[in-house]
Amino acid sequence: MTDQEVVITHVPLPDKPTNDLPPLPEPPVKDSFKPEGPLADPAESEVLKPAGDDKVSADVDSFKEESTKVADLSDSEKKALEEFKQLIQEALNKHEFTSPPPPPPPPPSTLPAKVEEAPVQSEVVVDKTDELIDDVAKHSDEKEEPPKSEDKTAETNEEGEKVKKSNETTVPAEEKEVVAVKTESSVDDDGAKTVEAIEETIVAVTVSATASTEEAVDAAANPPPAAVEPEEVSIWGIPLLADERTDVILLKFLRARDFKVKESLTMLKNTIQWRKDFKIEELLEEDLGSDLEKVVFMHGSDKEGHPVCYNVYGEFQSRELYQKTFSDEEKREKFLRWRIQFLEKSIRKLDFNPGGICTIVQVNDLKNSPGLGKWELRQATKHALQIFQDNYPEFVAKQVFINVPWWYLAVNKMISPFLTHRTKSKFVFAGPSKSADTLLRYITAEELPVKYGGMSKDGEFETCDSVTEITVKPSAKHSVEYPVAQGCAVTWEVRVVGWDVNYGAEFVPSGEGSYTVIIDKARRVGSSSQDHPVISNTFKISEPGKVVLSVDNPTSKKKKLLYRFKTKSL
């Protein structure tokens, strides 16, 4: 009989199940104060790159603002918008707009107790297997030659003992099947085959039970992750993808990046992260004082309904105000927060419904503005403009610069050929002599402040009282007649842009026997009469007639006459 050799093959244990849930992917958080790269849309640099000159060309005026209605978009723009919305939805599902929540604590595991029971079952099975092997060996020794088989049996028993000890100490439950198979080579008769069948039956049952136990433990230790609800993100008070106004917001980011969807998504993520870091919602509730209310203010709207924001840099000629605003880093930071708060409050008043007014006209008055030597002002303004450029895309309908010095216009003419038509369409520049006429091109006299050539001021008239505009030709005289009935009081306001004309007012009765009444004696109103740019008067009517206003323009330049009337019963 040949020597018996028992080989135990190492079977690797399955990986230990983990109790920790897989971590959620962390969104990339980037420095929102720094732009991702060069802006694709030059129009977003509108506050930094001037274009055009004091004369507004007809082709620029004909360039209309882009529509905010999806139906008006081209097919490629519609496709980009839909793709943009899909990427945003995926980002919301993965919580990429905010930091992921911490994973829940793992449930208590019973795995160690189950693992300790497995070797005990293995020892029992192996012990019984060894006993069967010994019985079969003795039985076969009685039938065969006693002298040599005893030695072989002894060797077999010694090796069996070694196998037994080895199984008791090192063989895990998963190796029982290997032991049963390898024992087949040591027995050649029918008894050995019987042992093999018994061993395989025992091992198969044990492995099946152990496998089912491990599956149950693994299922208990690793429950399926709970469904994570998509995060809710709002910007300017509008929830992303949960409001019909979302399309208008998304179109701003797409146009700012020339409809490049991935770049638009990056810009949107950076903007939302910046708003979170800057604590915009808390900023809206802060009281930052009213020292700068004359520097930046909203007043009226333009002819298309856009709200108008005035930036008066000349106010910083006041040394006291300048030092109070820019003398140190803390004060410059407060100025920045105030400027962003002002813009946020203005944006909240816009209409983001499709087709609504969702942009602002900016009027920048450069009269008496501090020179280039005011380093603090330049740095603070540059910082604010960079933030606006990165986080407030497509909110400017037009940039109007007035009272621009001659050298500014010269520089603008040099760089104008390098700017796109879309960019130049948003910029208008006017020197001191053209400022009022330029503003009246875009803003009605009822909405334009008096200091800028309009008729809007506190007094008898309101915005709803319409103003009539008439151009008086050079070396010409123009009369305005206003019929009135008996028993009323008539009030009027009149101004000539730039004045330097002769003005008078009188009442002419309808009756043949009545005399003309001089209300305002004809007099010269010079161009320096800016302290009283609007002439107002009231006259009580005792009989039917008409009020006649006379304007005589002796100059070689045409003049713009503005006036309006109102009557009250006595």
pLDDT of residue 102: 53
**CATH superfamily placement of domain 50-55+72-98+234-442:** CRAL-TRIO lipid binding domain (3.40.525.10)
Supply the angle between the helices 319-326 and 329-347 in degrees, to the nearest 10: 90
For the chain, give the longest Cα–Cα distance: 168
Specify the range with the lowest mean pLDDT, choosing from 39-43, 441-445, 518-522: 39-43
Residue of 180 and 538 predicted with greater confidence:
538
Query: Which of 17-21, 154-158, 445-449 is most confident?
Result: 445-449
pLDDT greater than 60 at residue 470:
yes
Residue of 33 and 283 predicted with greater confidence:
283
Give the residue from 444, 527, 447, 460 showing the smallest Cα distance to 492.
460
Please, which residues bridge with residue 402 across strands? 365
pLDDT greater than 80 at residue 240:
yes
From the number of C-beta atoms within 10 Å of its C-beta (0-12, 13-18, 19+), residue 182 rates as: middle
For residues 453-463, average pLDDT: 92
pLDDT band at 309 (very low <50, low <70, confident <90, very high): very high
* Residue range 477-514, pLDDT digits in tens: 999 999 998 889 999 999 999 899 999 999 999 988 89
Chain centre distance of CA 378: 26
pLDDT band at 156 (very low <50, low <70, confident <90, very high): very low
- What is the rounded distance in angstroms from the CA atom of residue 258 to the CA atom of residue 252? 10
pLDDT of residue 18: 41
pLDDT of residue 175: 42
pLDDT greater than 70 at residue 342:
yes
Please, which residues bridge with residue 508 across strands? 546
Supply the angle between the helices 75-93 and 261-278 in degrees, to the nearest 10: 50
Query: Which of 63-77, 155-169, 544-558 is most confident?
Result: 544-558
Specify the range with the lowest mean pLDDT, choosing from 95-104, 175-184, 323-332: 175-184
pLDDT greater than 70 at residue 78:
yes
On average, the pLDDT of the chain sits at 77
For residues 76-103, average pLDDT: 87
Output the six-digit token pair for 68: 């905010």
- What is the rounded distance in angstroms from the CA atom of residue 400 to the CA atom of residue 378? 19
Residue of 69 and 2 predicted with greater confidence:
69
| Separation in Å, CA 317 to CA 322, 367, 385, 451 | 7, 10, 21, 18
pLDDT greater than 70 at residue 86:
yes
Dump the DSSP string for 229-288: PPP--EETTEETTSSTTHHHHHHHHHHHTTT-HHHHHHHHHHHHHHHHHHTHHHHTT---
Residue 298 CB contacts under 8 Å (≥ 6 apart), including other chains: 307, 308, 309, 310, 346
Tell me the three-class secondary structure of 362-376, residue by residue: EEEECCCCCCCCCHH
Q: Where are the domains of the chain?
A: 50-55+72-98+234-442, 111-221, 465-569
| Phi, psi (rounded to 5 degrees) for 264 | -65, -40
For residues 448-467, average pLDDT: 93
| Phi, psi (rounded to 5 degrees) for 439 | -65, -40
Give the residue from 494, 372, 510, 518 showing the smallest Cα distance to 445.
494
- What is the rounded distance in angstroms from the CA atom of residue 467 to the CA atom of residue 465? 7
* Residue range 415-426, pLDDT digits in tens: 778 777 777 889
Hey, is 192 helix, strand or coil?
helix
Model's pTM, two decimal places?
A: 0.69
Q: Which amino acid is at 194?
A: T
Specify the range with the lowest mean pLDDT, choosing from 186-200, 240-254, 383-397: 186-200
Q: Which amino acid is at 512?
A: E
pLDDT of residue 513: 86
May I ask the CATH class of domain 465-569?
Answer: mainly beta
- What is the rounded distance in angstroms from the CA atom of residue 361 to the CA atom of residue 426? 9
With contact defined as beta carbons under 8 Å apart, do 109 and 219 qualify? no
* Residue range 349-360, pLDDT digits in tens: 999 999 999 999
| Strand boundaries in 411-475, DSSP class E | 427-429, 468-472
With contact defined as beta carbons under 8 Å apart, do 302 and 449 qualify? no
Residue of 228 and 497 predicted with greater confidence:
497
pLDDT band at 105 (very low <50, low <70, confident <90, very high): low
